[in-house]
Structure 1
Amino acid sequence: MSETTTPKQHLQARWGADPGFVPKEWNTTLETIVSHRSVRQWQDREVTENQIRTIAAAAQSGSSSSNKQVVSVVAVRDPVKKQALGEVGGPHQAPHISTAPVVLVWLIDTSRIRAAVRKAQLEKPKVEYTGAEYLDEVLVGACDIGINAQNAVIAARSLGLGTCYLGSLRNDAECVGEILGTPEHVVPFVGLEIGHPDPQEPAGIKPRIPQSAYLHWDAYDAAAATDVADYDQILADYFAQYGKPSSWTSGLVSRVGPKAVKVRKRHFLRQVFERAGFGLR
């Protein structure tokens, strides 16, 4: 694959087609973001504690809804625990999870709110604090985790490291909680592998749907949003480079099919959050 150097080349790689515009402004931050790819093959090199702390500082610097900060993160370096997380991820993910130097696991963490509420109820026992009864409480945590995790990805990339998100940890959130020793009201939500990318890994920048289907101006364009026929071929051509024939739309449909909905224990997530004290009303 030829090296991308100009903004247009970076966007061409991102969409697998002519971008249709050329950015008038460009910098190393934009290049880092646009050239993102998932890494699943690692060099046998340490990610230092200082690097992890630096990445965590960047993650924690992300915006937090109402400054509630209902997010915590566990940095997993222990080989036994990484192997256990890999087993939750499944046979296709276990090898790269277990060999990543560190796996960050973000948690929806209401422990600080609960402690503050207990103290407040001692002073005003008749006041009811029912915010956790609503679905919004989980959505706030999920949104904040997304912001934290993306900050972490950009920070890691800026340090020359690679990353790979792990939604697969929700295959069995309760098991992940047991591995990490979290209390019952703290729910693991997403993971992130971090390490030094193996330059021999057969992978590139996976094209996204065209910007015309993603970016809408002033009002939603339903026709443009579903105009992805060309993208099917673009993605098929991308995967063909690595001997993995694939159709995006058929893959998309299979991911919401009867088997996919019950992958491992994801269909029990509602009960996991209910047992953790979220009402989901």
Structure 2
Amino acid sequence: MTEQPAPSAHCTSQPGGGTAGLASAGPADRLRSRYGHPVGWQPPEWNDTLDLMLRHRSTRRYLDKHVPEETLRTVIAAAQSAPTSSNQQIISALAIRDQAKKDAVAEIGGPFQKHIKHAPVLVIWLIDFSRAKHLADEAQRDPVGLDYLDIALVGACDAGIHAQNALVAAQSLGLGGVYLGSVRNDSEKLAEVLDLPSDVIPFVGMELGYPDPDEEAGIKPRLPQESFLHIDAYDADAVPEQIRVYEETLAEYYRDYDMDPSWGRRLVSRLGEKATFATQRHRLADFLRSRGLGLK
């Protein structure tokens, strides 16, 4: 998540949810921006929620404007309204305004994450087993479920679902934000910086603030639906051609940047040895075990 968004020649900035041309843009315009080209279908109906979601973009520059506590709490209420597996609610959120802590998180993220320092609010989504362990201790029961991989995946899934609810709610209130996988660059150090209990695991970060309208950031096209959506059976034959189409779309999107425009090369590079061992993320399983998870 170190990549900076590229400007789009077809978009102008809007606060609170992204750039997608004029405020009056219709579904065809939103879909064209999202996929980088016109699509051969139209939504049966359109509403403000769909418009907000399809014009999403990441925000990394913010106005020097305070995010009121009531606004933050409303965003968190929206997050808590998300589904949670079996109502276990094994996640929490840590909102950070303290500048020293934001600076420390930015340092963990690395040189491309300096924007963390300038975000009015930083939220760290936590996989939180403290309540479950407390209840198990009271009941004198052994929480053997913590010995298995599934519970870690449940926590990660719930954290992602809740965080996305929060981001959509924030954008509906005029805020912007960006996810921060970089907080996992050194999970052990992050847990120390945040003074987290041993049964609480930092999983993903999120900046929130009022977007700077001068930030040049467009809507990054996604994979063609022909490559993403499979109906009744997985269509492996469509993958190579749709990758080629997507490569062409992103090459145009990144045309003004001195960087490799190939999505495929970027993806393979991210999975390569250099990127894998550039941070402490390859030690994440060891960190999870140190927090009491078995991962069997």
- Which of residues 74, 77, 82 in structure 2 aligns to 1:57? 77
3-state DSSP of counterpart to 1:233 = helix
CA distance in 1, matches of 2:142, 2:98: 41
Matched residue, 1:216: 230
Match of 2:289 in 1: 274
Give the drift of 1:129.
Answer: 3.0
CA contact (8 A) 1:161 1:194 kept: yes
What are structure 1's unaligned runs of at least 5 residues?
Answer: 122-126
Q: Is the 8 A contact 1:185 1:275 kept in 2?
A: no
Task: Indicate the residue corresponding to 1:9 in structure 2.
Answer: 29
Written as runs of structure 1 = structure 2, the 5 A alignment for 1:26-175 is 26-94=46-114, 96-121=115-140, 128-175=142-189
Determine the C-alpha separation between the residues in 2 that align with 1:43 and 1:59.
Answer: 24
Please tell me the residue identity of whatever aligns with 1:203. Answer: A
Q: Which of 23, 40, 44 is the equivalent residue of 1:20?
A: 40
Q: Structure 2, unaligned stretches of length 5 or more?
A: 1-9, 12-20
Q: Which residue of 2 aligns with 1:124?
A: none
Instruction: Please give the secondary structure, in 2, of the residue aligned with 1:277.
Output: coil
TM-score calculated relative to the size of structure 2:
0.90
**Alignment deviations for residues 80-127 of structure 1 (CA, whole Å, 9 cap, x no partner):** 100000001110112x10000001000110001100110111xxxxx5
Once the two structures are TM-superposed, the CA of residue 244 in structure 1 deviates from its matched residue by 4.5
RMSD: 1.2
Report which stretch shifted further, 233-242 or 197-206.
233-242
CA distance in 1, matches of 2:172, 2:258: 30
Q: Distance in 2 between matches of 1:77 and 1:195?
A: 11
**Residue 249 (structure 1) aligns with:** 264
Percent identical across equivalent pairs?
49
Q: Distance in 2 between matches of 1:197 and 1:229?
A: 33
* Count of matched residue pairs: 275
Q: Which moved more, 1:25-34 or 1:233-242?
A: 233-242
Q: Which has the higher contact order (CA 8 A, sep 6+)?
A: 2
Return the alpha-carbon distance in structure 1 between the equivalents of residues 215 and 258 of structure 2.
13
Q: How far is 1:268 from its partner? A: 0.7
Corresponding letter in the other structure for 2:67: V
SS in 2 for 1:20: coil
Contact 1:7 1:22 in 2 (8 A): yes
Q: What is the SS of the residue equivalent to 1:259?
A: helix
- Corresponding residue of 2:280: 265
Q: What does the per-residue CA deviation read over 1:161-184, in whole Å, with 9 as the maximum and x for residues that have no partner?
A: 111000110001111111211111
Instruction: Give the drift of 1:241.
Output: 4.0
Aligned amino acid, residue 157 of structure 1: Q
SS in 1 for 2:295: coil
Tell me how far 1:185 sits from its aligned partner: 1.6
Quote the Cα distance in structure 1 between the aligned partners of 2:37 and 2:79. Answer: 32
Could you tell me which amino acid in structure 2 is paired with residue 15 of structure 1?
A: Y
Q: Amino acid of the residue matched to residue 276 of structure 2? A: V
CA spacing shift, 1:6–1:242, aligned 2, 3 Å = farther
- 1:243: Cα distance to partner? 5.2
Kindly indicate whether residue 259 of structure 2 is the aligned counterpart of residue 239 of structure 1: no
